A = this chain, B = another copy of it.
Amino acid sequence: MTSFAAIAAAADRLSGHARETPLLSSPFLDEIAGRRVLIKAECLQHTGSFKFRGGWAALSALTDEQRHRGVLAYSSGNHAQGVAAAAAAHTTPAVILMPQDAPAIKIANTRALGAEVVLFDRAKDNRDAIGAELAEARGLTLIKPYDDVEVVAGQGTVGLEIARQAADLDVTEADVLVCCGGGGLTAGVALALEQTAPKMKVSPCEPERFDDVTRSLAAGKICRNEASAGSLCDAILTPAPGEITFPLLARLCGSGIVVSEEDAMRAMVLAFLRLKIVLEPGGAVSLAAALFHGDQLSGPAAIAIATGGNVDAALFAEALHRFG
């Protein structure tokens, strides 16, 4: 299980390699939300999402021999790019297992970052089984996208930065809204904030039909999604919360918040207009919760982690036409 000490250690290893992303705001967004809103712009992280942190934390925790043999990751795209970039910087071979319906830009970028990409069918194949087989055959170390102690520690460094940056703006009490897939970022951030900003309450935010974490928290046990594909929020579609992440989420988080795809797109366009950052739909779910689900928040301020910006140009243009 990841500890606060593991997050602090990951922050040391990430120092000088990951970016400290800014905490942005706009009076126009505050007005829509009816409260102060701060946006942690992890889309500005290396590779366009927070996943670089977890990738770096995991790579830097391996033994030299493990790094020499190489790593394997499976991902809809952002974890893939994060691991590929971190592996390249460590001169470690990386094999990435990606769903064939992942956005073209994510597949192309992962290849361009030097990784070998293996595609699978999200609806038919069992990615865990394929991954285990590949790892065994080539002696690769599997870096899971969320259910990995060091990955959770790396993502938790976002929480350390939020506590410090929000305090600089005199914000110590807030709802912290996190776009949530398997819960690695949410669990890491909640652990970090438990120690550094105890008046902040973390809530996982999910797209409709992929609300496994919200239902799991309500039920007190891990629940799975029925669907496995078919949302614009591709970055955060996971079958269920993880074995490592769920106990942390259950102990530390408030209820989940579920937003519609349309609200995620609307938040994406508002981030374009008001913050001048590029978000993908799955990276805008937390901002959508802050802007359009204020009735589910209790703090005087909301801090939304805008988790990623790897969106295809055509989809972004369509969102601008519909909501711009």
Contact = CB atoms under 8 A, between A and B. Distances in A.
A276 interface: yes
Contacts of A317: 316-317, 320-321, 324
Interface string A246-275: 000000000000000000000001001101
A276 B273 contact: no
B22 A276 contact: no
A137 interface: no
Given A28-B112, A44-B277, A278-B277, A316 B22 contact: no
A24 interface: yes
Contacts of A41: 44
A291 to B, nearest CB: 17
Contact of A276 (B278, B312, B313): B278
A182 B320 CA distance: 32
- Count of identical protomers in the assembly: 2
Indicate the size class of the contact surface on chain A: 20 to 34
A47 to B, nearest CB: 9
B309 A313 contact: no
A68 interface: no
Contact of A313 (B109, B269, B279, B313): B269
A19 interface: yes
18 contacts: A21-B22, A22-B44, A24-B44, A41-B44, A44-B275, A44-B276, A48-B276, A273-B313, A276-B309, A276-B310, A277-B277, A278-B278, A312-B324, A313-B324, A316-B320, A316-B324, A317-B317, A320-B320
Given A277-B278, A316-B320, 11 more contacts: A21-B22, A22-B44, A24-B44, A28-B109, A41-B44, A48-B276, A313-B324, A314-B321, A316-B324, A317-B320, A317-B321
